[in-house]
Structure 1
Amino acid sequence: MPPFSHLMSDYKDNDLPPLLKFLGLNYAEILDHFPEGVFLINTRWQIGYFNQMAAQITGYSREEVLGKFCWDIFQADLCHKNCPMRISMSTGEVLLDREVEITTKAGHKKLVLINTAQIIKGRYKVLGGVETFHELVCPEVETGKLEQHVVADIVGVSPRMQQILRSLPIIAASESNVLIQGESGTGKELVAKAIHQLSPRERGPFIAVNCSAIPETLLESELFGYERGAFTGAVSSKPGRFELAKGGTLFLDEIGDLKPELQVKLLRVLEERAFMRVGGTRKIPLEARIVAATNVDLKEAVRRGKFRDDLYYRLFTVPILLPPLREKREDIPILVKYFLEKLNRKFNKKIKGVDPKVMKVLCRHPWPGNVRELQHVLEYCFVFAKGPLITQRHLPRLESAWLGRELELPLSTDWPNPAESMAPLQALEKKTILTALEIAGGKKQEAARLLKISRSKLWRKMRIYQITDFEKERES
């Protein structure tokens, strides 16, 4: 009698549910139709059952493995050290999603994801163990194909991204103003840098200015520079960003947040192609190309009187609209491939790819943070991945849009419900900021890093939501 036949014989035909009797199936036949490999062992570690998928993955037939020790068949890297099946057999613990490298009959190495459990009869009688496993296969993106769809660190195979990539060299060759529009995280600064690198100005400086990160009182002097004595503390002259960008490109990010009085001055600079330092009298020629970007709907801002229409049309000479990641999901596999190559170099690892189940999760997620969020999620996975593939257990536990799991950050249940006094999205944003501050122990710089925003933007958001003293806010 095979070493495990007594266990299978414990299940008599009379024990079968009515549907299985009707279909003429027994438990062994059901396991043979299971889409994962399944094998059973007795307490002497001998294989007593081996389903069809197990035979397909390993290359061994059922007849070849019955009665053999499991370690002789699988020759896994964990067989004699930290064996998941051994842990389950000795402790009764169910182990899920463990990566194991096995050797097939043909001598090939395969990475599989296994689950193990103890088989027990009644309350105390241990009969053996069961293991299910499936092969981890990474969806491949040809390297040559990847190279064809990368332009200056911008990756895309979707029709909309291909159209943008084809237009970049043409746009870069001109001197016209460019307005890049898109949600946060879509890669607006990358596109601006690509235009600079592909242009005749590539040898000149690329100067980036975040219009919302610099305090309103300092923005004018930062942009145009100032002369000595222009204001209290101006002990010497200083060139502004317009001047520093001479011969290169000036990138004005978050242009939609520019105050009306500065909009007027910027319009005058663009029209006259010259500017003056604060406190100065001499006009300095503008010798930089202007590339602006915003995540604000400027057309709507113009309609509401928040943004000057003449400045809008002056900037709108060459518009580029970057689609959000959720509208170009076909780019996700190639973006994953691209980021994995970059992260392998950064962390000195050799991760080959992601499990197909992970790829399904990535392709299903709405990505409110767009490509930047995808990059940070993959970097998170790299920190915890030890094997050659990223699996589901390496993913961060984020909002329920991911895997049906709730946010598992250490939130205090004593905090007041901000939804009582503000809109749901604002309430969520405030709660997220408080969560980041809690994790960072009140350190603003660390909280800003966790939120993937600048420290000045965090300060601004804290003022908006009146988070003036984090410790008091947390205790209230």
Structure 2
Amino acid sequence: MKRPLDPFPGDEASAFALENVADAVFAVDRDFIVRYCNLAAAEVARCAPEEAIGRTCREVFGVRNCRTVCVLRQSMDEARAIANRIVTLKRTGCPEVPVSISAAPIWAMGGTVIGGVQVFRDLSGGGFVSRLAGLQPLDDFGTRDPQLSEIVRMLPQIAQSDSTVLLLGESGTGKELFARAIHKLSQRHGGPFVAVNCGALPEQLMESELFGYKSGAFTDARKDKPGRFALAEAGTLFLDEIGDLPYAMQAKILRALQERAFEPLGGVETVPADVRVVAATNRDLGRMVAEGTFRQDLFYRLSVVVIRIPALRDRLDDVPLLTERLLGRCRMAVSKNIETVSPEAMARLMRHDYPGNIRELENIIEYAAILCQGQTIELCHLPEHLRGEAGACPSRCGRTMAEIRFQAASDAVERHGGNRNAACRELGISKDTLRRILGRRDADD
């Protein structure tokens, strides 16, 4: 006989725990009437928890593909728990969100299933509840740093204006994340967000990529092609690495910003541009102006609102918070129950200066999660340049990194009965990478 479970928290400690977890949790009876809803689930439903009680979960959450992805129904019908089922939730007016759903039946004393409880967790990398609810994920900027906290506080006001914004910060500090937040918080949130890396565009194609071209503009131009300004109509155009723009191209961007219009390559008519521009760079535009490599008039046109994003080394107190968020992603990406980082490993992370900023920290945690076989990331799981000579795990002393990778990969393959696809999903690597890791060791032998 199954032990009866109480789906509704009966003590203060369990109630507090469920109310404050980031994952959305709710419980229903056999008629799919919501009997419990935590704060995260209520935010998805856009109502207070008590307003969800007594309504069907389909009515509360409004998921369009509810019947086809109902893990909760399957769990209750088959009287078994289902863990980590990957599905895509679709809500009217909201982006599709990939989630991991776990569900379990709730048993009465006599062994009858009387309901079920479901937990859903984000797999897309942040802002899960806000995207599913159609709200803006300002919680993506969780920080203890006073300077960054002030920027986040001002962001909604900045977004509501239609002024050009210039984001300044080193590579990897999250400038595009800020640009997307500005777009989502603005009156243009219903329009497109178009991102362009100016440093990645070949100079000879830059004008046609940004402004488009008309049929016959050059030999292969057989039909009109819209540029990024046209594609961002009624939305936001994010010009990343704008400091890499060639000097001649800067004049064309300036004219588009001043006149809110542009001419496609080969065109004879001016096309209006209803576009809000957010620009970003990791370069010192003021110094470039003084050197004559960046137009002063464009610099002033871009600098209506300037946001300076601090480097991670200037806010090291955020490393534990960021690490916890990144671990949350890694738990699902590599299908491991990694709970924490050891004090020794965290001390080493806190001493690093992060030239690659948050992007570097993300790569470090992902690397460590792949190597970690337990619940705690230890010093020996960190990349070699971080762990130093004292960073060898007791069970791995004297082993090279290639040997450690081989062991981790072969162990994963063995755990999945030789299924390499499943091993790749656990490790978060491609089949080619797995083949390379195992093949290189075989060649060495």
Q: Aligning the two structures, in what range does the TM-score lie when normalised by the shorter sequence?
A: 0.5 to 0.7
**Aligned to 1:339, what secondary structure does the other structure show?**
helix
Structure 1 ranges of 4+ moved more than 6 A: none
What CA deviation, in whole Å up to 9, does each residue of 1:93-121 have, x standing for no partner?
xxxxxxxxxxxxxxxxxxxxxxxxxxxxx
What is the CA-CA distance between 1:152 and the residue it aligns to? 5.3
1:37-48 map, 5 Å: none
User: In 1, Cα distance between the equivalents of 2:154 and 2:242?
Assistant: 23
What CA deviation, in whole Å up to 9, does each residue of 1:277-317 have, x standing for no partner?
00001211111110000000101111111101110010000
What CA deviation, in whole Å up to 9, does each residue of 1:348-372 have, x standing for no partner?
3221110011110000001000000
**Aligned to 1:270, what secondary structure does the other structure show?**
helix
**Contact 1:365–1:402 at 8 Å: present in 2 too?**
no
**Aligned to 2:237, what secondary structure does the other structure show?**
strand
Q: Does the alignment pair 1:173 with 2:179?
A: no
**Structure 1 residues 309, 153: closer, same or farther in 2, change over 3 A?**
same
User: In 2, Cα distance between the equivalents of 1:373 and 1:290?
Assistant: 28
**Contact 2:379–2:387 at 8 Å: present in 1 too?**
no
What CA deviation, in whole Å up to 9, does each residue of 1:42-80 have, x standing for no partner?
xxxxxxxxxxxxxxxxxxxxxxxxxxxxxxxxxxxxxxx
What is the CA-CA distance between 1:154 and the residue it aligns to? 2.5
User: In 1, Cα distance between the equivalents of 2:153 and 2:207?
Assistant: 36
**Contact 2:193–2:235 at 8 Å: present in 1 too?**
yes
What CA deviation, in whole Å up to 9, does each residue of 1:398-446 have, x standing for no partner?
2xx653689x999xxxxxxxxxxxxxxxxxxxxxxxxxxxxxxxxxx99
User: In 1, Cα distance between the equivalents of 2:252 and 2:387?
Assistant: 45
| TM-score computed with the length of structure 2 as normaliser | 0.56
**Aligned to 2:199, what secondary structure does the other structure show?**
coil
1:67-106 map, 5 Å: none
Q: Does the alignment pair 1:206 with 2:193?
A: yes
**Aligned to 2:306, what secondary structure does the other structure show?**
strand
**Contact 2:380–2:387 at 8 Å: present in 1 too?**
no
1:195 equivalent in structure 2: 182
What is the CA-CA distance between 1:232 and the residue it aligns to? 1.6
| TM-score computed with the length of structure 1 as normaliser | 0.53
**Aligned to 2:347, what secondary structure does the other structure show?**
helix
User: In 2, Cα distance between the equivalents of 1:189 and 1:403?
Assistant: 33
| Higher CA-based Rg | 1
User: Gapped runs of 5+ residues in structure 2?
Assistant: 1-129, 131-136, 392-399, 403-431, 434-445
**Contact 1:397–1:405 at 8 Å: present in 2 too?**
no
User: In 2, Cα distance between the equivalents of 1:156 and 1:310?
Assistant: 35
What is the CA-CA distance between 1:157 and the residue it aligns to? 1.3
Letter in 1 for 2:239: L
Q: Does the alignment pair 1:362 with 2:341?
A: no
**Contact 2:213–2:264 at 8 Å: present in 1 too?**
yes
1:122 equivalent in structure 2: none
1:232 equivalent in structure 2: 219
The partner residue of 1:186 within 150, 155, 173 is 173
**Structure 1 residues 157, 230: closer, same or farther in 2, change over 3 A?**
same
User: In 1, Cα distance between the equivalents of 2:269 and 2:387?
Assistant: 57
The partner residue of 1:296 within 283, 290, 307 is 283
User: In 2, Cα distance between the equivalents of 1:402 and 1:260?
Assistant: 44
Q: In the comparison of the two structures, how many residue pairs are matched?
A: 261
What CA deviation, in whole Å up to 9, does each residue of 1:204-231 have, x standing for no partner?
1110000010100001100000001101
User: In 2, Cα distance between the equivalents of 1:165 and 1:363?
Assistant: 23
1:352 equivalent in structure 2: 339
What is the CA-CA distance between 1:347 and the residue it aligns to? 2.4
**Structure 1 residues 403, 151: closer, same or farther in 2, change over 3 A?**
farther
**Structure 1 residues 200, 345: closer, same or farther in 2, change over 3 A?**
farther
User: In 2, Cα distance between the equivalents of 1:170 and 1:344?
Assistant: 35
**Structure 1 residues 304, 350: closer, same or farther in 2, change over 3 A?**
same
User: In 2, Cα distance between the equivalents of 1:383 and 1:233?
Assistant: 47
What is the CA-CA distance between 1:345 and the residue it aligns to? 2.6
User: In 1, Cα distance between the equivalents of 2:347 and 2:382?
Assistant: 12
**Contact 2:338–2:374 at 8 Å: present in 1 too?**
yes
1:245 equivalent in structure 2: 232
Letter in 2 for 1:186: T
Letter in 2 for 1:403: G
**Structure 1 residues 375, 252: closer, same or farther in 2, change over 3 A?**
same
Q: Does the alignment pair 1:337 with 2:339?
A: no
1:279 equivalent in structure 2: 266
